Amino acid sequence: MSQQIKITLPDGSVKEYEKGTSGLQIAASISEGLARNVLAAKVNGQVWDATRTIDADSTLQLLTWNDLEGKNTFWHSSAHLMAEALEALYPGTKFGIGPPIETGFYYDVDFGDHKLEGDELEKIEQKMIELAKQKSEFIRTNVGKKEAVAFFQEKGDEYKLDLLEGLEDGSITFYQQGNFTDLCRGPHIPNTGFIKAVKLTNIAGAYWRGDEKRKMLTRIYGVTFPKAQELKDYLTLLEEAKKRDHRKIGRELELFTFSEKVGMGLPLWLPKGTLLRERLISFMKKAQDKSGYQQVTTPHIGSKALYETSGHYEKYGKDSFQPITTPHEGEAFLLKPMNCPHHCEIYKHKPRSYKDLPIRYAEFGTVYRYEQSGELHGLTRVRGFTQDDAHIFCRPDQVKEEFIKVIDLVLYVFKALGFEDYTAQISLRDPEKKEKYIGGDEAWQKAESAIIEAAAEKGLVTVTELGEAAFYGPKLDFMVKDALGRKWQLGTIQVDYQLPDRFQLEYIGSDNQKHRPVMIHRAPFGSLERFVAVLIEHCAGDFPLWLSPEQINILPISEKYIEYAAELKAVLDEAGIAGHIDNRDEKIGRKIRDSEVKKVPFMLIVGEKEQEEQKVSVRKHGQGDLGSFSIEEFIGYFQGIISESLSKQ
C-alpha cells in the first residue's frame, strides 16, 4: 500500500498525494494549463526543481513566470543553455559561474586564446534556440566529491575545481541537459523547451572570484523569455532606457563629468549639476529642520581605530581604500567609509539624560569605498558619494515612534519627486548564519519586531528578505519602480542596538541609572549620486520645476535686445528663478530647438514688440507657445506652478 503525504497549498487547502509525487505532477492534478506554466516548486520555503519528488508532508507553492523565483529559475536555466551552446560552438571552453540577475543572467567564460567579438552573439543566440527546441530535460544528480573532482579534472576545467574546494562531500549536485553537464545546486526548469526567445545583450570582462590578481574572464550577459512578444517588448524598453541613460542625459544637460586624471568613480559636478544637488539638499534640510534634526559636520577621514571599534573595518576593510599612514609610527587613518561612527562620538561628547532623547543628527557626509573598476557605472556605482545620512539616538520605548516618523519622511520625499510605485523590503538577519552579524538574539528580536510593527502600522506593502540585514541590525529598504518599471533600492532605515554598545553610549534614565540608547540609521536619498541617477532616468531629465537647475532661458531675437534681456534676468534672479541669456549669434529657431534639447522648462523670447510692451513671449518645454506675459504675470504663473507642486506634498 502506497504511503500518502499531505501537501498544504498557498490558499491553506490540504491535499493528499502519494509519497514521491513531484510538484509538476501536483500541478497537473490541479490543471493541465497550470502544469504547462510551472517553472519550479517552492517546497517548505525552498525553491526546488518542479520535477523533484516530495517525500514528506510539505507546504507547496507552484512557481510560474509571474513569480520572481520562477523568473530566476528560468534565467538560471538559460545560463546553462547558453553554456551548452558555447561548448558546442567553441570546444574546450571553460566555465566559471552563471547566475540569474535582476533581468536575465550571465556566465563567466574562459575561451582560451579566442577573443569573443560582439558579432558572434547572434550565432550563439541561434544555437541556443536550436538547442531549446530539443526540449532537453534538466536532470539533477547527487555526486560524491571525489567523483566530481575526477569529472572536471578530465574535462580540464580549473574553475569548477576551484569551486569544488569549498564544497562538502554529500552536498554536491550536477545538472545535465542535452550534452552539457554543470556543477550546480539548482533549481532548474523542467526542460529547455520553455525558452522561446533569446537575446544576448552585452560582453564584459570579469576577474575570476572578483580578484584582480586572477584571470580576466569573458562575462556574457543575456535575457530570455517564454514568449517571443515579451522579448520584443523588452527590447523596446531597452531602447527607451538608452534614451533615459543618466550618463547620456547628464552629458547633454551638463550636470556632471568624470576625469581619468581625477580618478575612476569620482564624479565632478558641473555648475548645473551642483545647483541640482543644492536644491535637493535644501529640500531635505527643510524637511529635517521641521522634524527636529540637528546638522553636524564630520571629517573626510577617521582613525583606523574608530572603524575597528564600530566593526566596519573587520567587515568591510577589504572594500575600503588602504589606510593612510602618518610619520607617527602606528598612526593610521581611513578615508571615511561610513558616517555613523563619527556621529556616535558626537553623541558621546557630553553626558546625556533620558529627557534629552531622542537626539537626531543629520549630515550630508561624503564617504569613500573602493569599488573594482569593472563594477563602476556612471553615478549609480562610484567610489566617492554623499549620503543624506542621519542617526537618531533614542530610548527603547521611543524606537517605534521614531521609526514611523522616518517612514513618513521617506514617503514625503518619494511623493515630492514623483516616485509613486514602491515596496518596503523588511531585511532581516539569516537565522541560519548568525555568525555574519554582531549582537545577541534579544537585541535582534527587539529591533526586528520594531520594524515589522512600524511597517504594519503605516500600511506599507512589504516583502520580507532573510539575510539582507546590515551586520549590526535589521532594516527597511524602499524598493522603487521608475517610469520604465525598473526596480531601484532608494531609501533605507535601520535599527541598531550594537553600535551604542560598541561605543559604550549612555544616558541617565529616570531611575538615575545608566542605560544604552538605541540608534536608528536613515538615509531617504541613500546617496545623492545614485539618487540623482535614478531621478534622471525616471523623469528623462525633465525635472520638477522647483528642482530644475536651469528653469528659464531668455532668448533675444537679436543682439539689439540683449540689454532688455539682462534687465529681465535681474528681475527673475531677484524672484529666485534660475536661468541664463542665450546671446549667441544664432537664429531664434535654433535657440528654441537647443533649449528643447536641454529640457529647459521655459523659454522667454524677447524682440522689438516685447521690449516696447515690457513683456515676454513664453514657450513651455514640450508644449510650445503660451502667449505674451508681463514679467510680473510670468513670475506669478511660475511661482503658482511651484506652489501647487509643493502643496501636493
pLDDT tens digit sequence for 360-382: 999 999 999 888 877 889 999 99
Mean pLDDT confidence for 459-481: 85
59 burial type by CB count under 10 A (0-12 exposed, 13-18 middle, 19+ buried):
middle
609 burial type by CB count under 10 A (0-12 exposed, 13-18 middle, 19+ buried):
exposed
pLDDT at 472: 77
pLDDT at 603: 94
Residue 183 in this model has a pLDDT that exceeds 90: yes
Residue 164 in this model has a pLDDT that exceeds 80: yes
Mean pLDDT confidence for 103-108: 94
Mean pLDDT confidence for 263-288: 94
188 neighbors 137 (Cβ within 8 angstroms): no
Told to judge if 389 belongs to the known catalytic residues of this protein, a careful annotator would answer yes
Using pLDDT thresholds of 50, 70 and 90, give the confidence band for residue 644.
confident
Residue 647 in this model has a pLDDT that exceeds 80: no
Q: Which residues contact 290 (CB under 8 A, 6 or more apart)?
A: none
Residue 1 in this model has a pLDDT that exceeds 70: no
Catalytic residue among 475, 591, 599, 619: 475
Residue 7 in this model has a pLDDT that exceeds 70: yes
Residue 306 in this model has a pLDDT that exceeds 80: yes
Catalytic residue among 160, 219, 343, 369: 369
Closest CA to 338 of 358, 359, 317: 317
Higher pLDDT, 374 or 251: 251
Catalytic residue among 61, 188, 277, 340: 340
Residue 637 in this model has a pLDDT that exceeds 90: yes
Q: What is the pTM of this model?
A: 0.77
pLDDT digits (tens, 9 = 90+) for 312-332: 888 777 777 888 888 888 888
Catalytic residue among 391, 522, 619, 621: 391
pLDDT at 433: 81
User: Which amino acid would we find at residue 513?
Assistant: Q
Told to judge if 108 belongs to the known catalytic residues of this protein, a careful annotator would answer no
Mean pLDDT confidence for 591-610: 92
Catalytic residue among 177, 288, 387, 398: 387
User: Which amino acid would we find at residue 191?
Assistant: N
pLDDT digits (tens, 9 = 90+) for 392-429: 999 999 988 999 999 999 999 888 888 888 888 888 88
Closest CA to 198 of 97, 303, 96, 126: 126
Please give the angle made by the CA atoms of 134, 137 and 139, to the nearest 5 degrees: 145
Task: Using a pLDDT cut of 70, give the percent of the chain over it.
Answer: 99
pLDDT at 2: 65
564 neighbors 556 (Cβ within 8 angstroms): yes
Residue 521 in this model has a pLDDT that exceeds 70: yes
Mean residue pLDDT of the chain comes to: 91
Told to judge if 475 belongs to the known catalytic residues of this protein, a careful annotator would answer yes
Helix, strand, coil distribution of the chain in percent, nearest 5: 40, 30, 30
Told to judge if 343 belongs to the known catalytic residues of this protein, a careful annotator would answer no
Residue 350 in this model has a pLDDT that exceeds 70: yes
Residue 118 in this model has a pLDDT that exceeds 90: no
pLDDT at 474: 87
pLDDT digits (tens, 9 = 90+) for 435-465: 778 777 888 888 888 888 888 888 888 888 8
Catalytic residue among 521, 591, 615, 619: 521
Task: Using a pLDDT cut of 90, give the percent of the chain over it.
Answer: 67
Using pLDDT thresholds of 50, 70 and 90, give the confidence band for residue 25.
very high
Residue 648 in this model has a pLDDT that exceeds 60: no
